[in-house]
Amino acid sequence: MPSKPENPYANAAGAYGDNAQKHATNQSELEARVLLKSAKLLQDLQDDWENVNPEILEESLKYNRQIWILFYDTALENPQDERPADLRSNILNLANFIFKREVEIMTKPDAKKLDVLININREIAAGLMDQSKNKDAKSKGSPNEQSGKTTMA
């Protein structure tokens, strides 16, 4: 059985993700870095579109989908969390949009369709990084660190 072609985008993103996990100071920052990793993976894919095959495309979209499944599940499973209901609803709606867009991309591949996924990931990551900086500023001197909950949802 022939071996599966190696995805250079996934390899680079994997190295970036490993580094992000080692250097993230809190959950918000970790989530931001993972979203940025996915945005970079999708951007690299888009930049080298002529060399993309269906397997590489599916693998790259799957990584992004897994991130958003985590956010989606957390929003559903934590209704009593300190996050307002409208924020959880927005996360669910955004995740649903991303899932639908990925199906569109797999059905009719087009590099331009990746733009919205890349932009969403970057914008959410920027918000999470701001949130991370604000938390760090508030907790300066406090030994309590977040318990590992997903901060997005």
List, for residues 82-116, the tens digit of each pLDDT value.
Answer: 678 888 899 999 999 999 999 999 999 999 999 99
Residue 16 maps to a domain: no
78, 153 in Cβ contact below 8 A? Answer: yes
Residues in the chain: 153
Q: Residue 141: what pLDDT?
A: 56
Position 23 confidence tier, pLDDT thresholds 50, 70, 90: low
Separation CA 91–CA 85 (nearest Å) = 10
What pLDDT shows up at residue 145?
47
CA–CA dist 45, 108 (Å, integer): 15
Instruction: Give the number of other Cβ atoms within 10 Å of residue 148's Cβ.
Output: 9
- The answer as to whether 14 is a domain residue is no
**Do residues 98 and 65 touch, judged by C-beta distance below 8 A?**
yes
Q: Specify if 146 maps to a domain.
A: no
Instruction: Identify residue 103 by its one-letter amino acid code.
Output: V
- Cβ neighbour number for residue 109 with a 10 Å cutoff: 14
Helices and strands (H and E) in the chain: how many: 5, 0
**Residue at 30 is within a domain:** no
Instruction: Report which DSSP code applies to 3.
Output: P
pTM: 0.73
* Inside any domain, residue 32: no
Within a domain: residue 10? Answer: no
What is the mean predicted confidence (pLDDT) over 131-140? 69
Judged by DSSP in three states, 52 sits in: coil
Report the domain count for the chain.
Answer: 1
94 found inside a domain: yes
In a domain, 52, yes or no: yes
Domain of residue 83, residue span: 38-135
